[in-house]
């Protein structure tokens, strides 16, 4: 698949990476891929924050991509896959781009350099260097509460001029900045929210879609919010959003993706709720709350 910008819209799932006994759980990964690949998801993000990418060895990350692509091919559905990459060393990231250039992906999601807090000139040079080097298109990931640096709109608009930078996962935590970017961006530059709790708000403001961890649960409802807004049915979209708004808070009540993994385990989609340190599994209190919500939604669906 080519032309990532043509597919960077709608509901994207930052797929969790299942583990069992400390290893990549390929059986659960295949089950997840089949389940979500048959639904209303428009694309997968692999190995990013929700996929615990920073804990994955290179061989595990490569296997993750291969298994997901293999399952998608077996299902007969074509769906774009973006690989999450992050780091604070531009040179090393260029090497990672080389190492993954022949993987069966359609693009990259690349976060700002963390910890070092570069200037805007530094961010501009960093992302331009990566975009010049990459074999696949780039979507940028602005999440200053994790990286300690915000990519300003002035910088983003400069980067949007690059032929190989096609979009943004927006976790900037400033609605004012997001609205201004949506107003001023080039037509072909896609903006997807990455803030689950602000999904409806961002779509209402004109975002092209969302990269939504909470859509591991009630996937069709999250997709319906986008579809109804696209059709101009604001009230219908709001009604669907109200069905899942509290869910986004529950799944982020403790560090993600542990709550989502616990839900998926209790639902039988993965064989273990394991996360890798420094992440830990959910507390007994949150586990009980999730159990109650699963039971409630099961009764409602019945």
- Please confirm, yes or no, whether 108 is among the known catalytic residues: no
Identify the DSSP state of 24: E
Q: Count Cβ atoms within 10 A of the Cβ of residue 302 and give its class: 0-12 exposed, 13-18 middle, 19 or more buried.
A: exposed
Tokens read off for 143: 């999440």
The separation between CA 264 and the C-alpha centre of its own chain, rounded to angstroms, equals 17
- Nearest-5° Cα angle at 299, 301 to 20: 85
Exposed e or buried b per residue across 146-175, where buried means at least 16 C-beta atoms within 10 angstroms of its C-beta: ebebbbbbebbebbbebebbbbbbbbbeee
Tokens standing for residue 87: 């780091």
Query: Are 16 and 44 a contacting pair, CB within 8 Å?
Result: no
* Catalytic residue chosen out of the listed positions 36, 141, 199, 262: 141
- Whether the CB-CB separation of 83 and 53 falls below 8 Å is answered with no
Identified catalytic residue from 36, 169, 199, 262: 169
Catalytic residue check, 94: no
Give catalytic residue positions. 141, 169
């Amino acid at each position: 698949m080519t032309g990532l910008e043509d597919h960077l819209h709608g509901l994207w799932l930052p797929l969790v990476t299942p583990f069992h006994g400390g290893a990549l759980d390929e059986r659960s990964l295949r089950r997840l891929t089949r389940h979500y690949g048959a639904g209303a998801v428009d694309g997968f993000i692999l190995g990013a924050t929700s996929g615990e990418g920073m804990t994955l060895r290179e061989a595990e990350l490569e296997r993750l991509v291969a298994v997901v692509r293999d399952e998608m091919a077996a299902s007969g559905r074509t769906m774009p896959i973006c690989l999450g990459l992050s780091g604070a060393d531009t040179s090393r990231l260029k090497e990672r781009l080389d190492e993954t250039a022949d993987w069966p992906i359609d693009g990259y999601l690349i976060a700002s350099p963390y910890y070092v807090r570069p200037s805007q000139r530094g961010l501009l040079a960093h992302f331009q260097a990566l975009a010049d080097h990459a074999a696949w298109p780039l979507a940028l990931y602005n999440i200053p509460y994790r990286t300690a640096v915000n990519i300003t709109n002035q910088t983003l608009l400069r980067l949007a001029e690059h032929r190989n930078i096609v979009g943004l996962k927006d976790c900037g935590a400033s609605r004012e900045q997001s609205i201004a970017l949506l107003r001023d961006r080039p037509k072909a530059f896609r903006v997807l929210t990455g803030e689950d709790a602000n999904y409806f708000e961002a779509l209402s403001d004109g975002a092209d879609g969302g990269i939504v961890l909470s859509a591991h649960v009630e996937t069709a409802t999250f997709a319906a919010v986008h579809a109804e807004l696209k059709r101009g049915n604001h009230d219908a979209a709001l009604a669907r959003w109200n069905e899942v708004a509290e869910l986004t808070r529950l799944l982020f009540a403790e560090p993600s993706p542990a709550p989502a993994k616990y839900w998926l385990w209790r639902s039988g989609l993965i064989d273990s709720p394991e996360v890798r340190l420094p992440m830990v599994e959910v507390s007994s209190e949150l586990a009980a709350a999730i159990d109650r919500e699963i039971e409630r939604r099961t009764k409602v669906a019945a």
